[in-house]
A = this chain, B = another copy of it.
Amino acid sequence: MLCDGAERLNRCFVEQIPLTGHLGLAITAYDGHCLRMDAPLAPNLNDKGTAFAGSIASLATFAGWALITLLVEERLGLAEVAVYRSEISYRRPIDGDFYALCRMPEETGLATFWQTLKQTGKGRLELAVIVSQGDEERVRFKGAYAVCLV
């Protein structure tokens, strides 16, 4: 059972971001700290029968974006969130349905992020995302996101 915010984002994907419909992306779990976003293999195949790198990068980028969007909206209201830099390491091919797991960092930098965002309406945050197939980690992603309260 997803919260209203996550259900709303899933609807927004389909209605406002055409590519996410083709990718088949959907938030499948969110507990206020950690977010899971799933993708089916079939629409994301490359010519080798494994998941297309662009699809994996899209899933990871989007999972980080969704987690920050939900957390900021819960605490401080509507926000525009945009990735401005990322790096990704494709460690092993993916040949089945796959998913991204993303959780908020726990280090002290997070307190600074919230404080800056409250005071200035703007903030920046780096998040790590792991993409797995079944229980096995396949891809590591790190994204830097800019947040702006609206």
Stretch at the interface among A85-93, A101-109, A112-120, A124-132: A85-93
Query: Would you give the shortest CB distance from A68 to chain B, in whole angstroms?
Result: 13
Chain B residues, Cβ within 8 Å of A91:
84
Chain B residues, Cβ within 8 Å of A48:
80, 82
Q: Which residues of chain A (1-50) have a CB below 8 Å from chain B?
A: 12, 16-20, 22-23, 43-48
Count residues of chain A with CB under 8 A from any CB of chain B.
36
Task: State whether B80 touches A84 (Cβ < 8 A).
Answer: no
Query: Would you give the shortest CB distance from A87 to chain B, in whole angstroms?
Result: 4
Chain B residues, Cβ within 8 Å of A82:
48, 53, 90, 93
Question: A: which residues have CB within 8 A of B?
Answer: 12, 16-20, 22-23, 43-48, 52-55, 57-59, 61-62, 65, 80, 82-91, 93
